[in-house]
Amino acid sequence: MQVSSTSENLAVLVESLNFAQKIDRSLGLIREAYEEYGDGLVVANSLGKDSVAVWHLAKRVDPNIRGFIVTTRYKPAETVAFMNEEVARYPELRVFRSDEPLPDRLYETDPDRCCDVLKVQPVRQAIEVMNVECWVTGLRCTEGRTRVDYREIEERDKGLVKLNPILLWHEREIWQYLALYQVPVNPLYAEGYRSLGCAPCTHITSDQNERAGRWVGTSKCGGECGIHTRPLKVGATV
């Protein structure tokens, strides 16, 4: 599978492709990667709206495709309940978490360190334990300021391909897809949340930036937990 060149203008495609074309493109990307990597292709499922859309797309390509969930001690009760429902529906979803002791309320004083221990390290573990060669994400380039420079196929870690099959989708198109296919979603969306994470670091926002409600009041506001920005292969330089 070819790592994306910069020849296609993704910003133009975001606006020019229609909803059905985006679905076809996403399915094609997953299908092509699955043909190449087989069981080495694994979907990262954060239990957010984008992840459940990608998970549904992957299951349309092949019901045997595996996935992993990273959970933390700070996930809202609703997310934990939804996770348990998803794992019951799809036993091929494996759950990873870190129980490493941390200072109390570290998310207030050093959210980068907190995310590194509770999110990035379990993703590294999942990638190693599940022998992942290609991980599939729900990244979208219209989510906010930190997500504009991704490609649909990347290799930021040597030997680990990252596939972002819904990179071109708008937030509205995610909801369109989930409604049309009646995909179950985390009940917190009904309360007005648009981007979900751990309870202390997730707020409701009406900002244009969909992720503006994440890490409010910290240096990380509207930012990233690190799984899309830090090396993930065990043994890589951190």
Chain positions contacting ligand SF4, by CB under 6 A: 72, 74, 107, 111, 114-115, 118-119, 197-198, 200-201, 225
Name the minimum Å distance from CB 213 to ligand SF4: 12
Length of the chain in residues, anyone?
A: 238
CB of 197 to ligand SF4, least distance (A): 5
Smallest gap, in angstroms, from Cβ of residue 168 to ligand SF4?
A: 26
Specify the residue, 12 or 238, whose C-beta has the smaller distance to ligand SF4.
Answer: 238
Q: Which residues contact 179 (CB under 8 A, 6 or more apart)?
A: none
If the CB atoms of residues 57 and 115 are measured against ligand SF4, the closer one turns out to be 115
**Annotated catalytic, 225?**
yes
Question: Between 19 and 74, whose beta carbon lies closer to ligand SF4?
Answer: 74
List 114, 115, 198, 225, catalytic entry: 225
Specify the residue, 48 or 197, whose C-beta has the smaller distance to ligand SF4.
197
Least distance to ligand SF4, CB of residue 118, Å: 4
Residue numbers annotated as active site: 225
